[in-house]
Every structure is written in C-alpha cells, then in structure tokens.
Amino acid sequence: MTQPPVDASSSAPFVSVPQPAGVPILGNLPAFKRDMLSALMAAFREHGDKVRFNLLSRQALFLAHPDDLNHVLIRNNRNFTKYTRGYRVMRQLLGNGLVTSEGSFWLRQRRIAQPSFHQKRINAFAETMARVAEDRAHNWEQLLKNSGDGAPPVIQLNAEMARITLDIVGFTLLSTELSSHSARVNTNLAFILKEVTRRIRVPWSLPLSVPTPGNNRVNRAIARLDAVVETIISRRRHSAENPEDLLTMLMEARDEDSGEGMTDAQLRDEVMTIFLAGFETTATALTWTFYLLSLHPEAMAALHAELDQVLEDGRMPTLQDLPRLEWTRMVIEEAMRLYPPVPMLARTAAEDDVIGGVEVPAKTFIILSPYITHRHPAFWDEPEVYNPERFRDPKADRPRFAYYPFLGGPRQCIGKSFAMMEAQLVLATLARRFKLEHAASTPAQLNVTVTLGAQGDIPMKLTRR
C-alpha cells in the first residue's frame, strides 16, 4: 500500500509548476534529445527545485530538493516505480537483473544477493581488492622501466580503472579471472549504455528483432557480452568447486513455491547487472577521482602525506587502515559529488500524490539527478569548486538527500559498502607509489549515458613518486 497523499485542498495544481518553453507537439523532447543533463541543469537554474516538462504525450516532473527526493525514494517509495521508458530499454538490452527488475521478482533477487554484501563478507574481500590493484601497479612499474630515462609513459585512465574494477568483481563476486575479457566487456558495455541513452531520448525505436544496421550493431555487442557471461556460468556448472560467492548463491537459490532454480537466462541477467553496477560505476568514480587529483596538486599532496603516514614503509593498505585513510575517503566522496556515477534516475508515479505541496497526477514521469542536487547552492558552498574538506565530518549537517551517489531507500545500491571500500583500497594502493598527471591539452568532457563517464580516453602521464 502506498502512503495516502496529503490533503490536496492545501496544495498547488500540477500546472502551477514552471515549465521551460518547448516546441509544438514535441514540447521539451528535442532539448532532452540534444543533452538531457544540460536541459535539466538549465531548467533548475532558471526555475528552481521543481520543473515541469512536456515530453510529447507524457508529463514529467524534475525534483531537485532533498525533501522531495526523500518523499520519492523513502517516504512514499512504493508509489514510485521503475516502470519507465528508460528502465524498459535497459531491460531489453541488459536484462531483467537487480537494477532493472521490479516488484516481487526484484525482492526475491535482492534477498538472494543480500548475504554476499553483508559487511563481514565484504571485509573479507579487502585483501583481494588491494592485491588486484597491486598487480596492476607492477604492470605500471614495468611501463616505467621500459620507458628508461625518456618521457614518462602515458596510460589511459578510463581503461586502467575498468580493468582493475572488473578483475575485483571477477575474483570477489564470481570467483573468476576476468582480465582476459576486460577489453571486450568494457568496449561492448560502453556501446550498449550509449545505445540505451539514445533510445531513451527518442520517441520510438524499432525492436531489436528488426535487422537494421543499428540494431545489428547492438545485437552483436549484446552477443559478445553474452558469450563472456555464458562462459562464466558454464564453467561454474561443470566445476567441482563450489566457492561461497554471489554466483553460487544465485545458482543455488530456489523458488519458495516451485522449488525451481534460476534459468541460465536469469543468471545471465544478474551477471550482466554485476558488470554494470559492480565494476562500471566504481571504475567511473575512480577515474574522476584521479582526474580531479591531477588538477589539484594540493589535494594530491595531502593524499600522499596521509598514505606515507598510514602505510609505513610503502606497504599495501589493509581493512584495518581504512578508518585512518580519512583524506583518501574524502577525495573519493568529493569526486562522486561532482561526478556521481549515476547522474540521473527516473520513476513513474503509480497513483496521484502530493510532493512538496504540489499535486502530482498518476503516471507522471519523475526525474531526479544526483549531479544537479550535488550542486545545489542551498546545501553546498561554491558547489562547482573541488573541495574534499566538505566531507571531513561524515555526519555533517546536510539533508539526507543533499548527497546521494548510491541513491537511497529500498533501492539503494546493494554494493555501497563494497564500492567505497574498493575505491579507497585501489586509490591508496596506486597513489602510494605513483603520481598521475593529466596529459591532454583540454579538460575531460562528460559522456552522459546511464553512467557519467568521460568522452574518449583520459590520458595520464605516469611517474613514480
């Protein structure tokens, strides 16, 4: 049951919410198609915390204030579903996994996956996370040796972080070595996420079964990812080993009524979700963290000073070091404030409701954006400025949803603790030995898909500290 709406007699009608000018028939859809995030930011700056949009035949409401986000994500969360065009497209291209599923099916999958993300279990992954980063550090050392006394080698930051985080997900959640699949997974997942975004922004798309050149490219990318996933599942089914990981839990789960386990198709969808939510988002967070540090030498110097103090004699970081790696945590959190891995999300109102004193009709498309709320001047001083000191006090007096890189409520990212521990350990392992300097002449540009990546590669000069 959803929470009954407040008395509408004291609320304002939906049409009272300001709406940016659009074009006949299509309304604000062309602006969304050009650059949805920029369109939302411009509307927020002009009209404030609530903005109404006309998207062809659909009404949408953008919300930026933490109180309104709390209503949608927690207080009356059952009234706001993932039955949206965006999630429908994601289900078509990425499957019906934990991120995209809804209702009783989602609840069942969440309950199956939850034990893999229990804090004690996550803590046991710390050594593996640091070891994977250390192995990559050895590769970087070899690059430096091969460069001799010449110019420092240049690495592609995006690809390096993706490789590390994919390996970590492989070893910890799937008990599988994935480094040989890194380029394939990264390239094809990035293409599919771009296609998801394109399809969300247009009024209609032909079904994937129609053999257009574009659909053929999408189907080939999906097939390449499927081949990796099918290999992982097949090897596990034919293996005598039975590691206590997420994949085993998914394979051994049984329906309470029928006693049936997951089909290979269902397992495929969940493993695909692990690729998206388990490695892509953390790789994105680490990429922007290293990029911002390279632009702010004082923050990088403070990081190196902390690592030198905590990690005596240059040893690898451990789980026990994390509480002392305070600045390490802060620079990651500030990077996720400016560049949250998931920049936008959407819900659909199942029934009429009242949000922040405004009547919201059923079927209204609700748009939220961590990227924009993280820049809200009412909650952040100099919001465009990179300042990790904002996170000195984890219990700072900010509204709950002034900062929400892992979303919130029942659909909060199940891997939040996993991702934060992983990011700290990877950053500490690499930054204690190396310094990265942005090697391009122009700033990195945003690539807004389901996640908030960078356009193209971010080249970094690699030097020893």
Lowest mean pLDDT among 80-94, 121-135, 144-158, 246-260: 246-260
Percent share of the chain, pLDDT over 90:
63
The third-level CATH classification (topology) of the domain covering 8-252+259-464 is Cytochrome p450 (1.10.630)
Residue 28 has pLDDT above 50, yes or no: yes
Q: How would residue 114 be classed by pLDDT, with cut points 50, 70 and 90?
A: confident
**Residue 447 in contact with residue 158, Cβ under 8 Å?**
no
What gap in Å lies between CA 461 and CA 153, rounded to an integer?
6
> Closest by alpha carbon to 189, among 274, 303, 82, 306?
274
What gap in Å lies between CA 195 and CA 206, rounded to an integer?
13
Residue 2 has pLDDT above 50, yes or no: no
What gap in Å lies between CA 30 and CA 39, rounded to an integer?
10
pLDDT of residue 424: 98
Over residues 360-392, the pLDDT tens digits come to: 999 999 999 999 999 999 999 999 999 999 999
pLDDT of residue 339: 98
- The token pair at 248 is 């085993």
Q: How would residue 1 be classed by pLDDT, with cut points 50, 70 and 90?
A: very low
Buried-exposed string 300-333: b where 16+ CB fall within 10 A, e elsewhere: bebbbebbeebbeeeebbebebbeebebbbbbbb
Residue 5 has pLDDT above 60, yes or no: no
What gap in Å lies between CA 325 and CA 382, rounded to an integer?
25
Q: How would residue 76 be classed by pLDDT, with cut points 50, 70 and 90?
A: very high
Q: What is the mean pLDDT of the chain?
A: 91
Name every residue whose Cβ is closer than 8 Å to that of residue 173 and which is 6 or more positions away in sequence.
116, 245, 246, 247, 274, 278
What gap in Å lies between CA 160 and CA 331, rounded to an integer?
19
Over residues 39-55, the pLDDT tens digits come to: 999 999 999 999 999 99
Domain spans of the chain? Answer: 8-252+259-464
pLDDT of residue 393: 86
Tell me whether residue 413 is annotated as binding. Answer: yes
Residue 338 has pLDDT above 50, yes or no: yes
Task: Tell me the CA distances in angstroms from 305 to 137, 353, 431, one per residue in order.
Answer: 19, 51, 10
- The token pair at 67 is 């109180």
In 30-117 the beta strands, taken as DSSP E runs, fall at: 50-55, 58-63, 80-81
The phi and psi torsions of 225 (rounded to 5 degrees) equal: -65, -40
Percent share of the chain, pLDDT over 70:
98
Residue 19 has pLDDT above 50, yes or no: yes
